[in-house]
A and B are shown apart, each in its own frame.
Chain A
């Protein structure tokens, strides 16, 4: 049964998503059902990571008579939909299943009093399916389909509190951005399909050359995935979407954003691996976009008063670190000496930062959701003195804020330090921007901490208490992960991150489906 894991990763949450709407008028049952489905998927995800890191890439051919049959007798090109799971895909899948589980646990209490919960959980599971499909697939059109699934279910969830006008606006904005990005992706898939007559990414990457149509396709794919991962200058949808979505969806929505980042990396390293090997400008573009993203994101965060909006701008800024780390690696990919000296470590920093950021930003957004749950407002000026009332939330917030500012021994420090050290060797200016951004991040989180948790108690919140247990549990799990990843970064790096980096760099392995041919 173990060889069916990649298909089960899609089938199980899809089954959950289709059965959840049947629990109409029983929101408790729907929540528990979704929680158990995400728990099962989490177990499957852990199994998948274990399998991929010990035995290497997993191939799954849909509809074939056996999972590994890429080329049936007499075929020279693959024709079926193929899932190609390497360590990078498994790494992203692990983040997705973990965060969906945490999100479902948090949602159990957080959205208890809303209506239409069976649809909420069905959409949460569909979003998970979309992310998992995006990160596991080896087929370009399949990638587009799952991108659409994630985009549509994500925008429906952003607009979930439709009695608030802002939520509907944010949902519509996210829908339009997703639709534009997906259309551009579809257009470039059309270009590549018209040219090479195939949709398999591994096969396409062996064929792609240096002609104009390919470069147009690369530009379109690069732009649209950068748009969906919230890089400057197409970051405008992030603050709206993140601050309006219910906090229980935030972890999954974050992973959905980084699934697009994964697709960006996959396009740059695998699909167009032959082109980027000779064109270091792609790597430079990625690094410069990264620096711009982190700096513009953080400067806009400094002036915010809405706690979730402030954190959303930080999410943009942190995406910049990942782009910078991986971009530095991509810049020196054609120079083996530099690659060994700092390129590989830079990419490790960028990819390690993905999971670190997903963990601590989910934690922070969930503490903001907890503040909203007890106070009913997101305005920092109206809060105060909540540390005495909500001790667990305060601890979780301190851990998250320290992690995002890159203070040792939390996980943010581990990945940021790798990025500072390596980007300095490419160009010192890059590292200086990265450090300044980190200091500004710390400044703005000190502001949040002081105005929400410290200070004299506010009369209005005399009777508020700690949030319900499932929310506390979800936050404390993430806080524990922040500390663990910070204390033992070498274990995570060796077990998860370096295999993922090597999988991205192993172009010939990807092109031959892990040595099947």
Chain B
């Protein structure tokens, strides 16, 4: 099913798409997009890689990747960030924002600015967790379809 054209294109594009997906996830609190969108872009990069490789290689590689565990971890992380709010405030309270916490906890400056990555509190964490969940979920869906297609062809 794979051809030289797909393989060559993938060689150049895959790294770009994956980086772009990661960018959308991490910059979710500054630019349009976020965990879900970035995760979907990331998964589409992985889909390209899956399509470009032979079925046996894919099966070998993904045997070791705990996709469903990653999904659970993403969801639990999201829930965990939301539960942080129970420390004195309410569920989903952004407790890290402007608190001086070294990662994403810097105070947000007022007024027009280029956007500072190290702000946002729990939002970037939630984006990263949602991104993990979405990329694991979508990749496993694609993988199931791809491997089913293989089975159909062999019959």
A interface residue numbers (CB < 8 A to B):
4, 7, 10-11, 14-15, 18-19, 21-22, 24, 60-67, 81
Contact A60 B90 (CB under 8 A): yes
Contact A19 B92 (CB under 8 A): no
Contact B94 A19 (CB under 8 A): no
Q: How far is the CA of A7 from the CA of B71 in the complex (A)?
A: 23
Q: Known: A24-B68, A63-B85. Contact between A18 and B79, CB under 8 A?
A: yes
Contact A65 B90 (CB under 8 A): yes
Q: Chain B residues with Cβ under 8 A from A60's Cβ?
A: 90-91
Q: Chain A residues with Cβ under 8 A from B82's Cβ?
A: 11
Q: Known: A18-B75, A18-B76. Contact between A7 and B89, CB under 8 A?
A: no
Contact A65 B91 (CB under 8 A): no
Chain B: interface residue count, which band?
A: 10 to 19
Among residues 73 to 105 in chain B, which have CB atoms less than 8 Å away from a CB atom of chain A? Answer: 75-76, 79, 82-83, 85-86, 89-94
B19 lies within 8 A of chain A by Cβ: no
Q: Known: A21-B68, A22-B72. Contact between A64 and B89, CB under 8 A?
A: yes
Q: Known: A11-B82, A11-B83. Contact between A21 and B91, CB under 8 A?
A: no
Contact B72 A14 (CB under 8 A): no
B13 lies within 8 A of chain A by Cβ: no
- Residue pairs across A and B with Cβ atoms less than 8 A apart, 19 shown, are A4-B86, A4-B91, A7-B90, A10-B91, A11-B83, A15-B76, A18-B76, A19-B76, A21-B68, A21-B71, A21-B72, A22-B69, A22-B72, A60-B90, A62-B91, A64-B93, A65-B89, A66-B90, A81-B92
Q: Known: A11-B79, A15-B76, A18-B79. Contact between A63 and B68, CB under 8 A?
A: no
Give the residue of A10, A21, A62 whose beta carbon is less than 8 angstroms from that of B90.
A62
Q: How far is the CA of A22 from the CA of B68 in the complex (A)?
A: 8
Q: How far is the CA of A21 from the CA of B74 in the complex (A)?
A: 12
Among residues 55 to 76 in chain B, which have CB atoms less than 8 Å away from a CB atom of chain A? Answer: 68-69, 71-72, 75-76
Q: Chain A residues with Cβ under 8 A from B79's Cβ?
A: 11, 14-15, 18
Q: Chain B residues with Cβ under 8 A from A7's Cβ?
A: 90-91
Q: How far is the CA of A19 from the CA of B75 in the complex (A)?
A: 9
Contact B76 A63 (CB under 8 A): no
Q: Chain A residues with Cβ under 8 A from B90's Cβ?
A: 4, 7, 60-67
Q: How far is the CA of A65 from the CA of B85 in the complex (A)?
A: 9
Supply 6 further A-B pairs (C-beta < 8 A) apart from A21-B72, A22-B72: A4-B90, A11-B82, A21-B69, A63-B85, A63-B94, A67-B90
Q: How far is the CA of A18 from the CA of B77 in the complex (A)?
A: 10
Quick one: closest B residue to A69, CB to CB? B90
Quick one: closest A residue to B86, CB to CB? A4
Quick one: closest A residue to B93, CB to CB? A63
Q: How far is the CA of A66 from the CA of B72 in the complex (A)?
A: 29
Q: How far is the CA of A62 from the CA of B92 in the complex (A)?
A: 6
Binary contact track B30-71/A, C-beta < 8 Å → 1, others 0? 000000000000000000000000000000000000001101
Give the Cβ gap from B79 to chain A, nearest Cβ, in Å: 6
Contact A11 B71 (CB under 8 A): no
Give the Cβ gap from A95 to chain B, nearest Cβ, in Å: 23
